Structure formats: structure tokens, C-alpha cells
Amino acid sequence: MADKEPQQPKELPIVLVHRLPSYKIPLDPSFRDQLRSQFHMLDPHESPEPYDSFLARHAPFIRVLMTIGYSPISAEFLERLPVLELIVATSAGLNHIDLPACWSRGIVVTNASLAFAEDVADCAVGLLIDVLRRISAADRFVRGRLWPVKENYPLGFKLGDKRVGIVGLGSIGSEVAKRLLAFGCTIAYTSRNKKQSVSFPFYANVRDLAANSDVLVLCCALTKETYHMINKDVMVALGKDGVIINVGRGSLINEKELLQCLVGGEMGGAGLDVYEIEPNVPKELFGLDNVVLSPHCAVMTPESFEALDQLIVVNLKAFFSNKPLVSVVSNE
């Protein structure tokens, strides 16, 4: 079905490109060519026909759709695609997709976690070392020409003794664990369900995990259940020296309460890649040396984008050849 000579578009398997008009398929030419040589990419926004009639006309043939960025998929939208079987998402977080509606229809959803996991984990670990060892703050100290003036820079804290609690032990959480073990940290986790094949201690809820940890690393999906799961109770349980690293979604944390704790000196520190309302970062954080602020770029390496391109092509080909899919998002 997929070979190098361009086939008549009508003969290639159909993939709907679902995007808000402002998002486009990345201009990476080889990825675009790869897709177009193997699939008939239907993009309503590239057609002069009105969106609704374009969609209605093609709907009987659309078994697969690819979402670009955070273009939302609601239950109502799904109803317009009665033969849809697969959604190939291009991000790790899927809070813009009505997953329960997909699963009740038997629609399979794949995401980018497998492509992104290592880079996000690298970033999470980098943020943690930075917070504990004050690397960015020390860099500011030097650039502010303070080193010759003030004798010594305040001490940081050792990583190796820290008890790290991972919230969400999926692909990203597992890569974080693997790295932190090499630093001598001990790992525990919470997850929707205990994972049988994993030997780290499991806690059924995040408050108990926090009470037994020095650091929390948030690697889980944002859902109704996990919204604001990190609140003042959890922060108090984590303790006055506790550190939170968030590479998930901003709203996993009650940001207002996080601010109060950090500004009030009731927490050890935080490394944040995500915020409740991006790109608005609470300005109270700018004056704190025990906080490291990252502009939602934990996935941003050329290597992860290329890995994602490959992952998408692999899944589309697999679907149309009835082969197993990868990076499937499940309900466990």
C-alpha cells in the first residue's frame, strides 16, 4: 500500500487532519512528504469547501484522524465521524481530547509520550538538580557580578539521599525514575493503579506519597480526577523542605496555594515547566531563588520532534496494516 511512487490520492488510505486553523502540520518537509506519499491527508482548512460540508461529505470514509497540537476533540465532534476508529495525537498531554467519549465508542487514542519521554525526563531531572543545587540562581549570582563581592554562595542540597515520589509512572515517570536511581535517590510512586511489574513502593493517594517523600515529580495526565491534586494539604505533607517538579500540566497544582507556600517559605522549592494559564507565570515567583521557571519546553528538542514524526508514521502504517499500535493511551 505504501511505496515510493506517488499513487493517485484516492487510492491511498484516508487520514483526516484535525486542527484549529492556526495550527499547521509542521513545515518539516520530509515529514510532510512522508505523509503525503503514503496517505491521503484530508485537511478541511485547505479546502475552499465550507468546513461542515467537507467533513460531512468525507465522514463515511474517515477511520483515522490526526490532531495537530492542542486542537480540541469533543464528544460532539466525535459524533460527526461515525466510523472513526483511531486518533493519532501529536502531544503527550491529552486533556484537550474527551477520552471517556473515545473509549466508550471503542476509539483507540495514541499520544506522543513514547517519543517525548526521554527528553521530558531529562528536563525534569535537570530542573530538580537546578532547584536542589541552585544552578540557575548561582548563574544569576555570577552574571550579576556578585561573586567577587559576596564570599560564598549558599549551600545546595545533595540529591542522593532524597526520597522521590513520582506522580504517574507512565513512560515519562519511568524514565525519570531510571535517571534518579543513578543519582542514588530512592523512588516511590502513585498511579491510578498499582503496577504489578514495578518494585517501587506504591501509595494509593498523592498525600500519602508526599508524606513519605522529599520531592514530588508530576508526570501524569490532567483529568477531572487529577485537577488540582497538588494542594496545600499535599504541600504540607511534603514538608518545609519539600520540592515539586511539574512537567505534566499546570492545573495538576493549585497554583494559588503553591504560590502562597513558596512565597511564605513553607516549601523547599519548585521547578516548573507548565502553568495554569500559559504563558502567564505568576510574577511572585520571579524573585525566588529556589524556583526554576521553564517556558513549557520540556519536549523541545529536534530529536523528540523527529521521534514524534516517526511515531506518527509508524502508527498510521500499522493501523492500515492491522498491526499493533504504539504509545496507546489506556484507561489504567
- 179 sits near its own copies (criterion: CB under 8 A): yes
Q: Mention every residue, 6+ apart, whose C-beta is less than 8 A from residue 148.
A: none
- State whether the Cα torsion 201-207-213-219 is positive or negative: positive
- 184 sits near its own copies (criterion: CB under 8 A): yes
Phi, psi of 163 (to 5 degrees): -95, 115
d(CA 198, CA 13): 39
Q: Using CB under 8 A as the criterion, what x/- string covers residues 310-329 for binding its own copies? A: --------------------
Minimum CB separation from its own copies for residue 187, in Å?
12
Chosen residue from 16, 35, 159, 187 binding its own copies by CB under 8 A: 159
DSSP classification of residue 253? B
Site for its own copies in 61-120 (CB under 8 A): 118-119
Smaller CB distance to its own copies: residue 82 or 160? 160
Could you give the residue numbers annotated as active site?
249, 278, 296
Chosen residue from 29, 279, 322, 331 binding its own copies by CB under 8 A: 279
- 266 sits near its own copies (criterion: CB under 8 A): no
Chosen residue from 74, 80, 303, 323 binding its own copies by CB under 8 A: 303
- 129 sits near its own copies (criterion: CB under 8 A): yes
* Burial state string for 299-316 with b = 16 or more CB within 10 A and e = fewer than 16: bebeebbebbbebbbbbb
Minimum CB separation from its own copies for residue 213, in Å?
18
Smaller CB distance to its own copies: residue 44 or 170? 170
Minimum CB separation from its own copies for residue 175, in Å?
9
- 293 sits near its own copies (criterion: CB under 8 A): yes
DSSP classification of residue 285? G
Q: Which stretch binds its own copies (CB under 8 A): 51-59, 181-189, 200-208, 261-269?
A: 181-189
Chosen residue from 22, 182, 196, 332 binding its own copies by CB under 8 A: 182
DSSP classification of residue 75? H
Closest by alpha carbon to 218, among 230, 208, 233, 232? 230
Contact 85, 108 (CB under 8 A): yes
Minimum CB separation from its own copies for residue 39, in Å?
27
Lookup: cell for 225: 480526577
Distance of CA 17 to the CA centre of its chain: 21
Full DSSP string of 129-173: HHHHHTHHHHHHHHHTT-TTTSS-PPP---STT-EEEEE--SHHH
The site for its own copies, by CB under 8 A, has a size of 50
- The residues of the shown chain that bind its own copies, judged by CB under 8 A, are 118-119, 122-123, 125-127, 129-130, 133, 135-136, 138-143, 147-148, 152-153, 155-161, 178-179, 181-184, 278-281, 286, 292-295, 297, 300-304
